[in-house]
Amino acid sequence: MLFSKRKGLSAVRDSVQKEGMDDVLRHGLWNALHICIWEKIEYSHYSETFKSSNVYSLFRHYWHNLFKWPLDNLPAYLDEAHRRVREYFFKCEWYEVYDFIEFTAQNCPKNLAKDFVEFCNHILEKELSAYRFVGSQLTDITSTEELKSIESALDATTKYSGARKHLHTALTHLSDRKSPDFRNSVKESISAVESICVAVSGDSKATLGAALNSIERKKQLHPAFKKALSSLYGYTSDSDGIQHALLEESAISYSDAKFMLVACSAFVNYILGKLGEKS
């Protein structure tokens, strides 16, 4: 904190930016783009044209999939394309800035994505944004512990594509800023746990209960954990028919869906942690 803020001579932001974005936050996110993407532009050994650069594909994605502009309108020179993007960034709505940085994280050169996401999260935290990146997706889970639990589960399930897909889909449903689907987020969260348990048990046809019994025998699964997981599974089977679609309408809230995603991520981490322990 700078001198003037420590001494109370200038205002310190004390409210979370959830449905808006001040200039400081917008500028910080642009600086993340500048430092992690624009300053990392490279060209092939044979040419230094826009088309030979490592960001040409990203700009084509901007034009075709994000802006929905005609591709024959994409400038032939990088400087002009960059100018068009910068003009858009500083004129668009606050939620479109988030769309832009999320889209960039998902479509920029893979070797640049990690640093870009980390830099953005630093800015988002520093300027009290209500959103953070989890992987390459923005979500309004702001607790550091919650973020770490979900990120760890996504990283740990690289070899378990089924569970990883369920977790990613649960996060997508939860973090959709236009039309969140809390009901299906809960369903996907518990499905991730079910998937990882079945995979670890070695029996692809096992029910969750049978898979837990198998893991319990092999890895001394704590009875309290088994009971808690069974209770959560029962909740998703009964509450508004989440698991079995018994009802068309659902009263599942954001808090319910967030809890389930964080809890199920923690359960996935626990199961894979037990798998890594020596018997």
pLDDT tens by residue, the chain, 279 residues: 666 666 566 555 556 678 889 999 999 999 999 999 999 999 987 788 999 999 999 999 999 999 999 999 999 999 999 999 999 999 999 999 999 999 999 999 999 999 999 999 999 988 878 889 988 889 876 577 777 788 888 888 888 888 999 998 988 888 776 678 888 888 898 889 888 888 887 877 777 777 777 777 776 666 777 677 767 666 555 544 454 443 344 577 877 888 888 888 988 888 888 777 554
Question: In the prediction, which pLDDT does 245 show?
Answer: 45
DSSP 8-state symbol, 129: B
β partners of residue 132: 139
Question: In the prediction, which pLDDT does 41 show?
Answer: 95
Closest CA to 22 of 124, 122, 175: 124
Burial 248-277 (b: 16+ CB within 10 A, else e): eebebeeebbbebbbbbbbbbbbbbebeee
**Residue 240 to residue 246: CA distance in whole angstroms:** 7
What is this structure's pTM?
Answer: 0.66
